């Protein structure tokens, strides 16, 4: 029963963590689309054509404005001032959130973005069995710290310190290991 409640809790939290950014993004895009349409209404009254191929011209232009705006914001994001601002926001607000930095690095690695840290997938002998996790660091005493994510919510998990002999490095990408954990172990990765 305790395992079921833990599974239920982590699954609900994982669902919330997954949905909240999508809902926020949906609301922001919806509002931006409404603003773009509002800006275009006076222009549309002067144009003779109101649709192209059955699609309202105002909607096509609103989407074009949003894409152009996103492109311009992407250019702004490349500036040193924007990078400093994002760095400050991460240091003060996001980094203190448990697991934020680990998951940020993991997701960047999955997207092919080079981040400062690599967390290779490993099998660690823990509590009488093998646990799929990620090698974090090596301590001064020679032990290896391993993060073992919960399944299916990989945002939470536990840290174990194991001897080097209790560790088997895997020849799979971190994205494969995360996917395996999120799918509750279904579809075994190639080299486990």
> Smallest Cα–Cα separation from 126: which of 178, 162, 151?
162
Mean pLDDT of the chain: 80
134: how many CB neighbours lie within 10 A of its CB? 25
Report if residue 74 sits inside a domain. yes
Question: Which of these ranges, 84-93, 97-106, 150-159, has the smallest mean pLDDT?
Answer: 97-106
Asked whether residue 99 carries a pLDDT value surpassing 70, the answer given is: no
Per-residue pLDDT at 141: 87
End-to-end Cα separation, the chain, in angstroms: 29
Pick from 17-21, 36-40, 109-113, 146-150: least confident = 109-113
In a domain, 125, yes or no: yes
CB contact set of 90 (below 8 Å; sequence gap of 6+): none
Does one domain contain both 72 and 125? no
**φ, ψ for residue 121, nearest 5 deg:** -70, 140
In a domain, 138, yes or no: yes
Q: For the chain, where are the alpha helices, taking DSSP H only?
A: 2-46, 57-77, 80-89, 100-110, 174-182
CA 126, distance to chain mean position in Å, is: 27
Is residue 103 in some structural domain? Answer: no
- Looking at residues 16-31, what average pLDDT do you find? 82
Cross-strand partners of 137: 145
What's the whole-number mean pLDDT along residues 157-167? 89
Asked whether residue 113 is assigned to any structural domain, the reply reads no
What does pTM read for this prediction?
Answer: 0.49
Q: Which domain holds residue 61?
A: 2-78
Per-residue pLDDT at 113 exceeds 80: no
Contacts 24+ apart (CB under 8 A), 155-158: 155/13, 155/14, 155/17, 155/99, 155/103, 156/10, 156/13, 156/14, 156/99, 157/99, 157/133
Structure tokens at 66: 């949003």
Query: Phi and psi (nearest 5°) for 109?
Result: -60, -40
110 in a structural domain? no
- Decide if pLDDT at 70 tops 70: yes
Report which of 162, 177, 159, 168 is spatially closest to residue 106, judged by C-alpha positions: 177
Report if residue 104 sits inside a domain.
no
Note whether residue 57 is domain-resident.
yes
113-121 average pLDDT score: 70
């Amino acid at each position: 029963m305790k395992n079921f409640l833990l599974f239920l809790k982590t699954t609900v939290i994982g669902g919330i963590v997954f949905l909240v950014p999508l809902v926020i993004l949906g609301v922001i895009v919806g509002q931006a689309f409404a603003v773009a349409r509002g800006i275009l209404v006076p222009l549309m009254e002067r144009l003779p054509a109101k649709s192209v191929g059955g699609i309202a011209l105002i909607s096509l232009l609103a989407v074009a404005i949003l894409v152009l705006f996103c492109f311009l914001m992407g250019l702004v994001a490349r500036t040193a001032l924007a990078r400093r601002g994002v760095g400050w926001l991460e240091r003060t607000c996001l980094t203190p959130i448990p697991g934020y930095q680990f998951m940020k690095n993991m997701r960047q690695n999955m997207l092919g973005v080079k981040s400062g840290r690599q967390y290779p997938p490993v099998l660690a002998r823990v509590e009488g069995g093998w646990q799929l996790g990620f090698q974090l660091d090596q301590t001064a005493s020679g032990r290896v710290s391993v993060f073992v994510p919960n399944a299916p919510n990989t945002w939470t998990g536990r840290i174990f310190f194991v001897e080097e002999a209790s560790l088997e490095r895997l020849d799979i990408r971190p994205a494969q290991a995360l996917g395996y954990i999120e799918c509750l172990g279904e579809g075994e990765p190639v080299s486990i």
